[in-house]
Amino acid sequence: MTFPWLTFLGLLPIIGGLLLFLPMGKGAARTLGLVFSVATLAVGVAVAVMRGSGVDLSVTVPWIRAFGAWWALGVDGMGLAMILLTVVLTPLVLLAEWEPPAGRWSAQTFFALVLILEGLALFVFTSTDVLLFYLFFEATLIPTYFLIVGFGGERRGYAALKFLLFSLAGGLIMLASVVGLFAVSASQGMPSYLIGDLASLRIDGDLGRWLMLGFLIAFIIKAPMVPLHTWLPDTAAASTPGTATLLVGILDKIGTFGMIRFCLGLFPEASVWVAPFMMVFAVISILWGALAAIGSTNMMRLVAYTSVSHFGFMVLGIYAFTTTSQTGSIFYMLNHGFSTAALFLVVGFLAKRRGSYDINAYGGVQKVAPVTAGVMLLAGLSALSLPGMATFVSEFLVIAGTWARNPIVTAFALIGVVLAAVYVLAVLYQRTMTGPVTEQTQKAFEGRDLTGIEKAVMVPIIAMLLFFGFVPQPAVSMVETTAKATMEYVGVTDPAPVVKGAK
């Protein structure tokens, strides 16, 4: 038997996290945490390399035979993208939160919880068994809850509970569908929760639609779509930037990830049936999120709302059912992780100095701290999908792919592109960075531009965004396999060019 790399990948950070609960000094704890996260990064990269060279990494071990549940892990293009996102972001988040807010739980606990969360998230992205997925899906809530409640801002208790209740409500509905899947599978003979087995059942008709809706609602809450999104801004505003990064950058991706893997991957007919509604919902999310961001005065809320808008784009691309748009959506999931991380973290750097998330508390920062301003501008430009940034490639693929399917819906979605320019430049950047230097800004930022650690956090993120902006092909090829497989399974073909005989 070959070495179970995927199990190891997920277990490594969890073991690290548990070790960190042992009593030790603060410095040692942080170093140990960072070492484990970097080791996980190394294993993640190794997994990517092995998969690239054609090694079969999947694991399938019987777990609960009566239920047909397996310890089954596997990785496809989309899963690999998510794994890489997770393993890259975690060490950066740990670095960015090297000094968690004072007066809360200890840094040691923060590092431990983040590592455990990382491991659970990795299992979520690698599970190829529905029950296993469900288990880890729910398990991620636990460390997240404690990260919010233990380290957050003023309304952390309220926000943590809200997050938990929303997620649990979605999870409960999903549980009903998971149980339903068991019934369907058992009625066909051997019960099995393996995605491959379930997919071959092709559950269609009313049954498929009901089961699909159970999954879909959970994922809609997770990748927050209007009107089930209000937990996100509250949670983001009440948690530390690092937690918000993990939450929005990685955990919320489970929503769109799940839509592709479970809704489309198990219920093809029902997914095609629901697609028109989802596209409309997606457009509403895009516009709603963008407008709400424009109206925000709290920077964390603002960034959270931009994510609502961006998730709208991802969902739009998924349900447009073209290879291009789905590839764009998956690539978007990766890029949005980095882009949103950049924004959350730079907002965190600002707040660390000024002690406030209120946009109006800033002004003229550019003059005093040009590097901070430059980094924020770059992060903002990635959020508004400027060409040259990876986010542009993904957004363009979503738009162009969706346009071929439905130009009118896309035209409405495009308004979000203009609104993005407004919330990034007119609201976020202009109000904080430009204008005359206020007294408080002077006091808070004079001689306190980004530190070495902070630069070390931002440089890889921005470098990644720029690199994939100019050379997107490797990443796109990686995730395109998933899009192609999904399209083939669902049985939808790309719209052909209207003009025949054109190249």
Partner 1 sequence: MLLETLAAPVAATGMFTLAWTMIAVPAVMAGLLLLAGKLSDRWGHLAATAAVVWSFAIAVCLFAEQMMRPASERAVSAHLYTWLGVGHWTFEVGLLVDQLSILFALLITGVGSLIHIYSIGYMAHDARRRRFFAYLNLFIAAMLILVLADNYLVLFVGWEGVGLASYLLISFWQHKPSAAAAGTKAFVMNRVGDLGLLMAISTMLAMFGSSSFEAVNAGAAHVPPLWATLIGFFLLLAACGKSAQVPLQAWLLDAMEGPTPVSALIHAATMVTAGVYLVVRSHAIFEMAPIAQAAVVIVGTVTLLAGAWIGTSQDDIKKVLAGSTMSQIGYMMLAAGIGPAGYAFAIFHLLTHGFFKANMFLGAGSIMHGMNDDVNMRHFGGLASAMRVTFLTFSMGYLAIIGFPFFAGYFSKDHIIEAAFANNVVIGLCALLGAGITAFYMTRLMLMTFFGEKRWRQGVHPHESPKAMTVPLIILAVFSVGAGLLMNWWIQTWLEPAVGNHAHDISLIPTPVGWATLLVVAAGVAASWMVFGRGSIPDVAPATKNPVTIAGRNVLFGDQVNGFLFTHPTVATAKAIDTADVSLIDRSFDGAGRAFQGLSTQLRRLQTGYTRNYALTMLLGVLVVGAVLILSQLG
437 is an interface residue for partner 1 by CB under 8 A:
yes
Choose between 101 and 435: whose C-beta lies nearer to partner 1: 435
Choose between 252 and 395: whose C-beta lies nearer to partner 1: 395
Distance of closest approach, residue 417 Cβ to partner 1, in angstroms: 6
Q: Residue 452: exposed, middle, or buried by beta-carbon count in 10 A (0-12, 13-18, 19+)?
A: exposed
| Cα-based distances in Å from 480 to 226, 237, 410 | 28, 35, 21
Write 14-20 long-range contacts (CB < 8 A, 24+). 14/115, 14/116, 14/119, 14/120, 16/40, 16/115, 17/111, 17/112, 17/113, 17/114, 17/115, 17/116, 17/118, 17/119, 18/112, 18/116, 20/108, 20/109, 20/111, 20/112, 20/115
Contact characters 366-405, partner 1, x per CB under 8 A: xx------x------x----xxx---xx--xx-xxx-xx-
Site size toward partner 1 (CB under 8 A) is 68
d(CA 92, CA 242) in angstroms, rounded, equals 9
- Interactions with partner 1, residue window 286-325 (CB under 8 A): 288, 291-296, 322-324
Q: Which of 364, 462, 464, 482 binds partner 1 (CB under 8 A)?
A: 364
In the three-class reduction of DSSP (H, G, I as helix; E, B as strand; rest coil), residue 462 is classed as helix
| Cα-based distances in Å from 193 to 70, 75, 130, 443 | 7, 17, 5, 59
- Interactions with partner 1, residue window 403-422 (CB under 8 A): 403-404, 407, 410-411, 414-415, 417-419, 421-422
In the three-class reduction of DSSP (H, G, I as helix; E, B as strand; rest coil), residue 203 is classed as coil
Q: Tokens representing 121?
A: 């998230």
498 is an interface residue for partner 1 by CB under 8 A:
yes
d(CA 404, CA 385) in angstroms, rounded, equals 20
Across 21-134, the runs of DSSP E, i.e. the strands, are: 59-64, 69-73
Distance of closest approach, residue 187 Cβ to partner 1, in angstroms: 30
Instruction: Return the percent helix, strand and coil in the chain, to nearest 5.
Output: 75, 5, 20
Asked whether 369 and 376 are in contact (CB, 8 A), the reply is no
Distance of closest approach, residue 463 Cβ to partner 1, in angstroms: 12
Place of tokens 């959270």: 304
Q: What's the gap between Cα 404 and its chain centre? A: 26
Choose between 247 and 397: whose C-beta lies nearer to partner 1: 397
501 is an interface residue for partner 1 by CB under 8 A:
yes
Contact characters 322-351, partner 1, x per CB under 8 A: xxx--xx-----------------------
Choose between 102 and 499: whose C-beta lies nearer to partner 1: 499
480 is an interface residue for partner 1 by CB under 8 A:
yes
Contact characters 37-76, partner 1, x per CB under 8 A: ----------------------------------------
The half-sphere exposure of 436 on its side-chain side, counting CA atoms within 13 A, is: 2
Distance of closest approach, residue 323 Cβ to partner 1, in angstroms: 4
Q: Which of 58, 60, 356, 434 binds partner 1 (CB under 8 A)?
A: 434
Q: Are strands 69-73 and 59-64 parallel, antiparallel or unpaired?
A: antiparallel
Choose between 210 and 396: whose C-beta lies nearer to partner 1: 396
Radius of gyration of the chain (CA): 22
- Interactions with partner 1, residue window 75-104 (CB under 8 A): none
Q: Which of 472, 481, 485, 489 binds partner 1 (CB under 8 A)?
A: 472
Distance of closest approach, residue 2 Cβ to partner 1, in angstroms: 33
Footprint on this chain of partner 1 (rule: CB under 8 A): 165-166, 227, 230, 233-234, 288, 291-296, 322-324, 327-328, 364, 366-367, 374, 381, 386-388, 392-393, 396-397, 399-401, 403-404, 407, 410-411, 414-415, 417-419, 421-422, 425-426, 429-430, 433-437, 472-473, 476, 480, 494-503
